[in-house]
Amino acid sequence: MSDKETMLVQKISDGTVIDHISAGKSLSVLRLLGNPQNRGVTVALVMNVSSSKMGRKDIVKVEGVELTDEQIQKLALIAPLASVVIIRSYRVAEKKNAVPPKVVVGILSCTGATCISVREKESVQSIFSLAGSSPLSYRCKFCGRVLSEQEISAQLG
Amino acid sequence: MSRDAWSGRDVLSILDFSRSDLEQLFDIANDFTERPGSVKKSLTDRIVATAFFEPSTRTRLSFSTAALKLGAKVIDLSPEASSVMKGESLPDTIRMLESYSDLIIMRHPSEGAALLASEVGRVPIINGGDGSQHHPSQAMLDLFTIQRLRGRIDGLSYAVLGDARYARTATSFLYGLAKYKPKAVYLVSPEGLRIRPEVKDTLDKLKLRTEQLEEIDDVLGKVDVIYMTRIQKERFPDPNEYERVKGSYRITRSTLAKAKDALVLHPLPRTNELAYDVDSLPNAAYMEQARLGVPVRMALLHLVLGERKK
């Protein structure tokens, strides 16, 4: 983040900064993280700021919470360009990029009405494998249908 | 592949089998066809279960016949008269069936059902059709029929006519052809029945070149095999879509006048897309194709279960 951007919200002592979220997706990111603000966690959103890399982007700061690797993988499903910075005592402790997981279990839903993962969803977990990174797409293990980036965002957003 | 590699294997998709696997299968099927008296009862003391969650005539009966000819006993789950009607899940049904049998042959209206069953169960699963996706034993017998009647599969020109979108037989046949070197493959369908994107994607990866056409007349004179499918009303998510495309193609005796000696294959049953006046032409190979379903499925059961330790 540039100094200009950091002026928009105060620095956090400990927690996570998620940068390079596609503009308009920050609320989806919060939902994906289980809406930590509802548990009393301090959250700051910066929406639609200019970015040399992305044109426009969103930023999310979550105080006192460090994202797990699993959460970062899920994050990649709706913000594949996101970078995650873990802050400890006002310093950058770790930097990680959101990398789309090769296999996603139980998070996405197949769009095929006749897919067994849809018809037997009580007894079967959906399983998708990464089909493409840019744009992001995932293939259903059971019926082979491919979910597009827009469909993934619509499901998780 | 050696027989050991076949032994105990699930048969979910023809994509999982190499050309040499298929050649091994066809050699045994050929033996069973040529010398039916020499068939050994390799499935004696075995129990084969059939579980067809959607209607079937040829697949169910030819598998049952094949199992009986090899000495197996056959039990049948009738979903309409079982706990399936009480809402029992597929995984629970498969766990029950596998405790009663050594191999399960199943058909289900949902894509991926056989794959799911194979992950739940320990006994081999043979996919007798899952939704619009796979029907491996049908594709195997289709290719075997061509091999028997034309002496080869390579170097021939093929037209796949009809519903390439929802017909699992057409999809599986194309996946099977991708193991060989056809001279040309024409896909002849109205726009609403063209192959699904994921199928096209798979064929591209397998380097099977296809050409999409609207009318069979354009290629009748140059194909060696016409593979037809029925338009399956039950597969259409929208009944209006079915109404738009039904009756959009039909092969009759007069259509075939330009077709020289092209074989006509059809997985059957037929509706009105294949006229009865074709039956007496030398082109009509579909009844022989149905007949060869038994030796191919015998070979399949023999390879998967015949020498497997209990």
Which ipTM was obtained for this model? 0.89
Task: Verify whether the Cβ–Cβ distance A144 to B133 is below 8 Å.
Answer: yes
Q: State the total domains in chain A.
A: 2
Tell me how close the Cα of A140 comes to any Cα of chain B, in angstroms: 9
pLDDT of residue B1: 45
Opening angle at CA B12, ends B9 and B15, nearest 5:
100
Asked if residue B184 and residue B268 are part of one domain, the reply reads: yes
Q: Quick one: average pLDDT of A66-88?
A: 90
pLDDT of residue B243: 78
Task: Verify whether the Cβ–Cβ distance B198 to A141 is below 8 Å.
Answer: no
Tell me how close the Cα of A153 comes to any Cα of chain B, in angstroms: 20
Tokens 């939704």 found at: B131
CA atoms within 13 A on the CB side of B183: 10
Asked if residue A30 and residue A65 are part of one domain, the reply reads: yes
Interaxial angle between packed helices B168-177 and B136-150, expressed in degrees from 0 to 180 and rounded to the nearest 10? 60
Asked if residue B275 and residue B187 are part of one domain, the reply reads: yes
Task: Verify whether the Cβ–Cβ distance A139 to B198 is below 8 Å.
Answer: yes
Tell me how close the Cα of B111 comes to any Cα of chain A, in angstroms: 5
Asked if residue A86 and residue A20 are part of one domain, the reply reads: yes
Asked if residue A68 and residue A16 are part of one domain, the reply reads: yes
Q: Quick one: average pLDDT of B40-48?
A: 95
pLDDT of residue B3: 56
- At B310, the pLDDT band (50, 70, 90 cuts) reads low
Is the predicted pLDDT of residue B4 greater than 80, yes or no? no
Give the DSSP H or E segment for B173: helix B168-177
Is the predicted pLDDT of residue B66 greater than 80, yes or no? yes
- Determine contact, residues B132/B168, Cβ cutoff 8 Å: yes
Asked if residue A119 and residue A67 are part of one domain, the reply reads: no
pLDDT of residue B81: 66
Which of the pair, A6 or B286, is modelled with greater confidence?
B286
Alpha-carbon gap, residue A43 to A9, rounded angstroms: 10
Which of the pair, B216 or B82, is modelled with greater confidence?
B216
Q: Quick one: average pLDDT of A95-99?
A: 90
A140 exposure class (CB count in 10 Å sphere: 0-12, 13-18, 19+): buried
Considering only the beta carbons, identify the residue of B112, B130, B199 that sits closest to A117.
Answer: B112
pLDDT of residue B287: 96
Task: Verify whether the Cβ–Cβ distance B133 to A143 is below 8 Å.
Answer: yes
Residues shown for chain B: 310
Q: Quick one: average pLDDT of B3-27?
A: 92
Tokens 């899920």 found at: A74
Considering only the beta carbons, identify the residue of A122, A143, A146 that sits closest to B89.
Answer: A122
Structural domain of residue B185, as residue ranges? 136-290
Asked if residue A83 and residue A10 are part of one domain, the reply reads: yes
Is the predicted pLDDT of residue B5 greater than 80, yes or no? no
Asked if residue B277 and residue B147 are part of one domain, the reply reads: yes
* CATH number for the domain that contains residue A123: 2.30.30.20
Q: State the total domains in chain B.
A: 2
Q: What pTM, to 2 d.p., does this model score? A: 0.88
- Determine contact, residues B33/B148, Cβ cutoff 8 Å: yes
The catalytic residue positions of B are 58-59, 86, 107, 135
Is the predicted pLDDT of residue A82 greater than 80, yes or no? yes
* CATH number for the domain that contains residue B17: 3.40.50.1370
What tens digit of pLDDT does each residue of B261-274 get? 999 999 999 988 99
Q: Quick one: average pLDDT of A2-8?
A: 55
* CATH number for the domain that contains residue A39: 3.30.70.140
Task: Verify whether the Cβ–Cβ distance A116 to B112 is below 8 Å.
Answer: yes
pLDDT of residue B288: 97
Asked if residue A26 and residue A90 are part of one domain, the reply reads: yes
Asked if residue B301 and residue B199 are part of one domain, the reply reads: no
Alpha-carbon gap, residue B56 to B307, rounded angstroms: 28
Tell me how close the Cα of B173 comes to any Cα of chain A, in angstroms: 17
Judging contacts by C-beta atoms under 8 Å, the chain B residues touching residue A111 are none
Which of the pair, B236 or A50, is modelled with greater confidence?
A50
Asked if residue A90 and residue A38 are part of one domain, the reply reads: yes
Asked if residue B143 and residue B129 are part of one domain, the reply reads: no
Asked if residue A32 and residue A85 are part of one domain, the reply reads: yes
pLDDT of residue B237: 75
Least Cα distance to A15 among A82, A92, A73 occurs for A92
Asked if residue B192 and residue B148 are part of one domain, the reply reads: yes
Asked if residue B169 and residue B108 are part of one domain, the reply reads: no
Considering only the beta carbons, identify the residue of A116, A141, A146 that sits closest to B198.
Answer: A146
Least Cα distance to A26 among A51, A8, A43 occurs for A43
Is the predicted pLDDT of residue B174 greater than 90, yes or no? yes
Asked if residue B247 and residue B236 are part of one domain, the reply reads: yes
What tens digit of pLDDT does each residue of B177-214 get? 999 999 999 999 988 889 999 999 999 999 999 999 98
Judging contacts by C-beta atoms under 8 Å, the chain A residues touching residue B108 are 116
Judging contacts by C-beta atoms under 8 Å, the chain B residues touching residue A141 are 112, 115
Asked if residue A142 and residue A68 are part of one domain, the reply reads: no
Structural domain of residue A113, as residue ranges? 103-156
Alpha-carbon gap, residue B67 to B88, rounded angstroms: 27
pLDDT of residue B283: 96
Asked if residue A45 and residue A83 are part of one domain, the reply reads: yes
What tens digit of pLDDT does each residue of B221-251 get? 999 999 999 887 777 777 787 777 777 788 9
What tens digit of pLDDT does each residue of B114-162 get? 999 999 989 999 999 999 999 999 999 999 999 999 999 999 999 999 9
Asked if residue B121 and residue B205 are part of one domain, the reply reads: no
Asked if residue B215 and residue B157 are part of one domain, the reply reads: yes
Q: Which of A97, A128, A143 lies at the terminal end of a domain, its last residue?
A: A97
Q: Which of A97, A125, A145 lies at the terminal end of a domain, its last residue?
A: A97
Beta strands A136-140 and A127-133: pairing type?
antiparallel
Asked if residue A111 and residue A42 are part of one domain, the reply reads: no
pLDDT of residue B91: 94
Q: Quick one: average pLDDT of A74-78?
A: 89
Asked if residue A131 and residue A90 are part of one domain, the reply reads: no
Give the DSSP H or E segment for B164: none
Q: By three-state DSSP, how is residue B41 classified?
A: coil
- Determine contact, residues B12/B136, Cβ cutoff 8 Å: yes
Alpha-carbon gap, residue A130 to A102, rounded angstroms: 5
- Determine contact, residues B191/B152, Cβ cutoff 8 Å: no
Asked if residue B175 and residue B40 are part of one domain, the reply reads: no
Beta strands A136-140 and B47-52: pairing type?
unpaired
Asked if residue B48 and residue B154 are part of one domain, the reply reads: no
Judging contacts by C-beta atoms under 8 Å, the chain A residues touching residue B16 are none
How many DSSP H helices and E strands does chain A contain?
Answer: 5, 9
Phi, psi of B122 (to 5 degrees): -100, -25
Judging contacts by C-beta atoms under 8 Å, the chain A residues touching residue B132 are 114
